[in-house]
Structure 1
Amino acid sequence: MKLKVLLILMLAAVTFTSYAQDGGIRGKVVSRNGRVVLSNVQVKIESLGLTAMTDKDGNFIFENLPAGSYTVLFSTPDFEDLNLMVRVGDKHVQDLKSVIIVPSGQSAVLDDAVFAEFDSDSSSSDTQALPSSLSSSKDLFNNIASYRFSEMRFNVRGYDSQYSDIYLNGIRFNDAMTGYGPWSLWSGLNDATRNQENYTGLEASDFGIGGIGGMTNVNARASQMRKGFRVSVSNGNQMYRFRAMVSYGSGQLDNGWSYAFSVGTRQGGNGYVDGVYYNSYSYFASAEKLFGQNHRLALTLLASPSERGAQQASTDEAYALFGNNYYNPNVGYQAGKLRNSRVRNTHEPIVMLNYTWDMSENTRLNAATSLRFGRNGYSALTWNAGADPRGDYYRYMPNSDKTQIVPGITTDETIYFYAMDGAIAKGVWD
């Protein structure tokens, strides 16, 4: 009899224990924007070493969890990470219903063409370099400073953009000579480079210790690009008139591969300043392979070839003669066609190889190498052993006591001119 009672008590204890471990967590992950369900979101309970991915309907579930409190981490590219504290009871699956995650801050689209008007011959003042504060973040002051004041008039904490470190896939890409960030190298690749990590000031991160002006790491790998096919076409009235982009991200496939590509173009004709135009193309391709659960290898190629006409500052006298304060002395006529003598032409492809090894839960090894090559330069007039052909050259101005008249032109009025490659654009002095 005693043996029977003992067996009953042991069976009850085992049954109680199994019920105590029969808890769970389930839910659906959606975006804050439109409550769209999100697939392939990583849901992780780090304390138990458990990971799940949301299905095509955004659902996930953890079963047979011991009773207790757990921190559940939700993470996916293009969205802010979310940590939730969830309490699991006995014999109960905790239903979180809809878990809302917030899209991460997108970098402000300030393209190379926006700064063509401020072009300078000095590479040290190249205003294409945009500091990391030009992307939205959780910092209210940086948000207002970046979008309201504009970096053209405001430097965060008074520091120039050369003091902000810019990384691409964990490699620092600031110019070796000037220190400025090369944002124009991947301008136009919005879909491929929108996943960024931003740090303010001297703060340590997984990829380096930032400069006094902050730090930005652009994650441009196939696994970081949001899954799906996207096409966008836009028209505007600023420096470029037309933009089109086509992008695709495969997400991580069952065989461990991830693929992504993006191509785009931005085109702009002459605006209110003669000769200032903008023609740009961009391309991006990346492939990434997951080996086992701990090793990743990624190959990335990207570039943003562009051509743009630059504006040159002039004098009040030249503006008065031309009758327009938007006179551009870089511009002249050749064979009846308006041309700009000062054209910036760039094409600097970047090839990168990244390797990641998750050695343990708290240790990760990152190794990366990159190759950057191509061209980046301006065209300019030359006048070897000849007269200066620039239209606003001071000796051609009416107020100069050494005015030169162009030989071979018959007219009843005095001529000022701008010559380029033997062609002359004529104007009349009063």
Structure 2
Amino acid sequence: MRSATSSSPSLTRVAACTLVALTLLSACGSKNNAAQPPGGKMPAPEVGVITTKLQPVALETELPARVGPIRVSQVRARVNGVVLKRLFTEGGVVKEGQSLFQIDPAPYQAQVNSAQAALAKAEANLSSVSATLERYVPLLAAEAVSKQEYTNTVAAKKQAEADVGTAKAALQIARINRDYANVYAPISGRIGQALVTEGALVSTADTGPMAVIQQLDKVYLNITQSANELQHLRRQAGEKNIASGLPVSVVLDDGSVMPRKGRLLFSDVTVDPSTGQVTLRAEMPNPDYALLPGQYVRVRLAQAELPAGILVPQQAVTRGGPQGDTLLVVGQDGKPMQRIVKIGSQNGANWVVTDGLQAGEQVVVDGFQKLQMMPPGTPVKAVPWSPTPAPEAAGPAAGAKQPAAADTASR
């Protein structure tokens, strides 16, 4: 009796625990069933896609370039002498014909005075000989003077005329040298520092300039490009020559693009044998002197155009993988599959695909993280992708955009 009585509470507790466990399992099963849609299948993940199309595409390239002045002039002394004054502000803008240096003009003024005196003497001699010749004309007719004396007087007049010409030339040279004592700017532009000081003795034999002027309202962009790359662009576009006049954009060190555009002037016809590169030259307006000579920049230019190309956003392409450049294409069955493509060049925020895609295919641009969480071969729901965020993408919506950024980073 005691044994049966003591076992009865134990059985009661076991039955109660079993009932509680069954109730919890039933509740969990109900929640799982409620989380699944009708039919017991998870919905297909959404991915952003673009539909490819054929269109004329500019084949842009980004190349290194050095900035060079449109004109350069070295200011040099044209006469010997001591520099008395510097008449410009270093680093400022000077005009053509502006006085820059004053060399001591005293010796050259003395030469002018001497040449003027020599000219006056020659003119006086010419006047005397001319008067004598005029008197000899009637005397020769009356045979009051010999023909030899008359001939000598005619020759003396011609010599006096030559002396006057020589004196005039010497006076002109003396005045030129006196004017050269004032050193003028040969061109307009920005002048650098003075390379001679006041009191320095300068000479026409000096190898160094007194100052350097550079015209910078326009500048040259000296661009270098691989000859192989240039030929590749020509083959892609079916062109024989790179046309001059193409627009050129300048990319600064911080990645910003200057609002003004230049134009391509020419492409060199010779390949540098030491580097395998050709030189291209562009002209760029520079009214605010933002570009300085010798500055390193990068330029973008569309050297050719494909009559029918395909553009895909850069974030859609995985570059440099084991199989090369790849992207994901959604097939007719809704399943994404990897596709090997050939990239031609950059066009803004897009890549130019030259092989591996056809018009009308759907390329995955967004949603890569969702695909990584699904088994391979899982169908997806393709929705159109827009490169610009929605206007309400601030606050909470901005946080919802972060997985997309992670998708891109995972590529």
TM-score, normalising length: structure 2: 0.23
| Structure whose residues are more often strand by fraction | 1
TM-score (norm 1): 0.22
**Highest relative contact order (Cα 8 Å, sep 6+), 1 or 2?**
2
Q: Tell me which protein shows more helix as a share of its residues.
A: 2
